[in-house]
Structure formats: C-alpha cells, structure tokens
Amino acid sequence: MKSEEPEITPCGEGEQANVTDPIHWPLWRKWSIVVCIALMYMLANFGTIIIVPGVPRILSDFHTSPSQDQLYEPLIVSIWELGEGVGSFLVGPLSEKYGRSIVYHGGNVLFILCSVAAALSVNLGMLVAFRFINGLAITTITLAPSITGDLFVREERGAAMALAITLPLLGPCAAPIVGGYVTSNLGWRWAIWIIAIAVGSVSLCSLIILKETYRFKIHDQQSSETEQQQPRRDPETKLQAILRPIRLLFSSPIVLVTSLYTALTYGISYLILTTLSSTMHDIYGFTQGPIGLTFLGRAIGNLIGLAIYGLTSDRYLQYCRRKRGHSAPEDRLPLMLFGTILLPIGLFLYGWSAYERLHWIVPLIGTGIVGASLILTHLPTENYLVDAFDPHGTSASVLAANAALAALFGALFPLAGPSLYRALGQGWGNSLLAFISLAFLGPFVVLWRHGEKLRREGWKYLWVVVMREQ
C-alpha cells in the first residue's frame, strides 16, 4: 500500500515533548497501563466463554422448546463474537479521530451497564440482545496493541505486546473451569455478575492511570491550546473514518493476508474451545469436572509459546539493528513462519488421535501445540501491523479490520464446526483446517522477503513478484 499518511511527528517541542509523548513516560506507568489493558482483554475473552457451562441451565430456566434449544444454544455464545465484529469497525477509526482514552473508557462503561442488564434478563431475547451489545462495547480491547505501540519503541515493544496479547488468550482456557463451578454453585447469572464486577474494578484502575496515548491527538490538543492548529491530515467525515478499516483491508495485501490468517486461527481456536468438552465426553467418557481441566492443555501451550516469543522477539530485532544499522517490521515474521508450521501439526495430532481413540493425553498435546502456535502467530502479526502502520497513525484501523474478521470467524466456526465433524470426522475435519492454514505459509514467505516494498507499492508490487516467480 502506498503511504498516504504523514510520518509520525513529535507530540510537542523540547521538554514539553518529553512530558506528553507516551514514549517518554516513566517505565512504571507504561507497564501499569499494559497490565490494565491486558487484564481487560483477558476478562473480555473470559466473558465470552464463562457462560458456556451454564447454557443448558439457561435454556431450562427460560423453558425453551427443543427447536428453540437448537437455535439459542450456539447463539448465546456466538452472538458476543458478532457484536465484536461490528464494534471492531467502529472502535479503531473512532480512536484515531477522537483519541484512544475516551473511546476505551466509554466502551468499558457501556460494557458494565450491559452486563448488569444481561444478568437481570427476564427472557432469552433480552439476554442475547445484551450479550451482543456486550461484545460490541468490549471491542475497545482491540486498542490494546495500538496503545502498547504508543508506549514503546519498536525494539522494546515485543515483551509488552506479549503480555498485552498472551494474557487474554489464557482467558478462554480458564473460563470453562470457572464457569462450571460458578454455575453449579451460584447459578448462571453469577457468571455474568463476576465479569461485570471484575471489569468494573479494572476499569476504575484504567480510568486513573490511562491518559491519552495517541500522539496525533495529543499534538492536535497542544496545537489548539496555542491557537496554532495545524491539522495532520485533511478533515475527515465520520463515515470516512468508519470505512477506513475496510479500505485498508482491501487496499493493502499485507493487511488482507494477515487478517485472513488471524481470522482462520481465531475460528479454529473457538471451534476447539466449544467442541473439546463433547469430544472428551463422547470419546473418552470424561465427566464435567475433569473436562474443565482438559482446557489446561492449550493454556500450557500458550505459556510455552509466550516463553519462546519473549526470549527471542526483541532480541532478534536488536540483532538486526546491530547488523544492518536498523530494524524493520518484517523482522517480526520469522517467528510467525514457525508458528504457521506448528498449527497444522497440532491439528493433525489432535484430530487423528481423537479419531483413533488413542490415550487422552495425545489429543491434549495436540491442543497444546495449537496453543503455542496461536501465540507464535498472533503476537508477531499484531506486532508487525503496529510496527508497519503506527508511523502513519493508522495502526488502530488496521487492527480493527484484523479483529473484525477474527470475530466473524470466531462466531461462525463454532456454528459450522459440529456439521464439519459429523461429515468428515475428527481426523479429516481437522486435517482440512490444517491444510487450509498451511496454504498461508507461501504468502508469509513473500511478506518476509518483500514486505518493505509491498508496504510502499501494495498490489502493484505483488503482481511484479508473482510474474517474476513464474
């Protein structure tokens, strides 16, 4: 994509820049912000899944018919992801127009109010409606990578990004365990109340510590105060701002390829999360308690992936800077190539070991490999997009497009997954997903080798690469 945006500028001049530029904030404050947004991100993912063990009781409490059960059982969970898909197209552009903090804090308040309403639902329609708005409101979490990018320079960004993105991925692993016990002892409404209380607590901390981090917004505010307003870009309508993620998605091959792969892996992740319980029950005879513990396989894989990423990512960028005199966004991609190879290995192991009814530990090892691959693909991808687009002030819109596709796939895969497994079985069903994911390895190699020119020239240069390879 040809750059249409100006390069990033300082927030101010001299000492004023050091005070207002988030890059120069004290380290304790920057890491406190990262912890807050990571916790909020985790609670959002936690809230999606914690209600799953309570779905049968919800349907029973509202006296639904068998035909209604078939509709509402997946809808209660997936409607949240649909809300996230819609909200993702709004949050990124609005944060670039009005600033990160006001959008972030406003979304948190709306989420808390809708959680209270969902917990007090008197019918299924009310519950589903407020779960949808919950998903829409909590899409402010998609600002986590952009906020982290605002706070740290490229060579120091990897560790902070690892915490901001990995902690949320652990949420869905623990949510079924907690949700099962809460539903059994306190009822399904308390599963929602717990999330509302937790989000309220973290939101209060965020309100105190998280101020505006978007440099262009800070610069505009300072220009207004000195009556020397110099807009960084042409005035933009709200509609143009909202449509920016869609424009970036289709105008940049980098954004399109990485977003499609992120969406695929997100869908696979939610498919496994929503079908693992039935797999372990139907094939291995696990009961409710032990089933919850099987989600720890993926959690362990997440932690292993995090350790690998944390030990290598920033070090590799620092090595590239020493060797070449500078680092590039594409230096994030070698780990993503490794993760792209790991994912089909995990899917093959999980699917065929379950199909052949091997010892239960074997499919759980497969989910662990999948968990590690998710970290080693999601973290480099989001870091790469922030590194590539943050200098132009559009990283939030790019990540919004990425998150919107991911939410859409996360909603649809659990709905289509049972039909896939019934038609092809665990073995070939997961193999099909593995083959599709492996097809992205080639495009990622192209990004690694030609990413800098692709960022400048977009689809035109990609056509040159394709013709040259032929």
More confident residue, 370 or 410: 370
More confident residue, 327 or 12: 327
pLDDT for the residue numbered 14 = 47
CA–CA separation, 219 vs 229, rounded Å? 9
Q: For the chain, which residues make up each domain, given as ranges?
A: 15-221+240-469
* DSSP assignment string, 203-226: HHHHHHH-----HHHHHHHHHHHT
pLDDT over threshold 70, residue 15: no
Three-class SS of 69-83: HHHHHHHHHHHHHHH
pLDDT for the residue numbered 127 = 93
pLDDT for the residue numbered 115 = 93
First to last CA, the chain: 23
pLDDT for the residue numbered 24 = 86
pLDDT over threshold 90, residue 347: yes
Q: Please report, rounded to a whole number, the percentage of residues in the chain having pLDDT higher than 70.
A: 86
User: Residue 108: which residues within 8 A CB-CB, separation 6 or more?
Assistant: 40, 137, 140, 199, 203, 206
Please give the average per-residue pLDDT across 101-116, as a whole number.
Answer: 92
CA–CA separation, 247 vs 208, rounded Å? 35
> Poorest-confidence range of 414-418, 433-437, 443-447?
414-418
Look at the block and give the residue holding tokens 């796939």.
409
CA–CA separation, 80 vs 134, rounded Å? 7
pTM for the model stands at 0.74
Token digits of residue 350: 């999980």
Angle of helix 124-137 versus helix 66-98 axis, rounded to 10: 30
Q: Please report, rounded to a whole number, the percentage of residues in the chain having pLDDT higher than 90.
A: 25
Instruction: Tell which CATH classification among 3.20.20.140, 3.40.50.150, 1.20.1250.20, 3.20.20.70 matches the domain 15-221+240-469.
Output: 1.20.1250.20
Helix (H, G, I), strand (E, B) or coil at 317: helix
CA–CA separation, 274 vs 291, rounded Å? 12
> Poorest-confidence range of 87-96, 233-242, 262-271, 450-459?
233-242
147 neighbors 20 (Cβ within 8 angstroms):
no
pLDDT over threshold 80, residue 230: no
pLDDT digits (tens, 9 = 90+) for 129-156: 999 999 999 888 888 888 888 888 877 7
CA–CA separation, 261 vs 278, rounded Å? 26
pLDDT digits (tens, 9 = 90+) for 418-436: 788 889 999 999 999 999 9
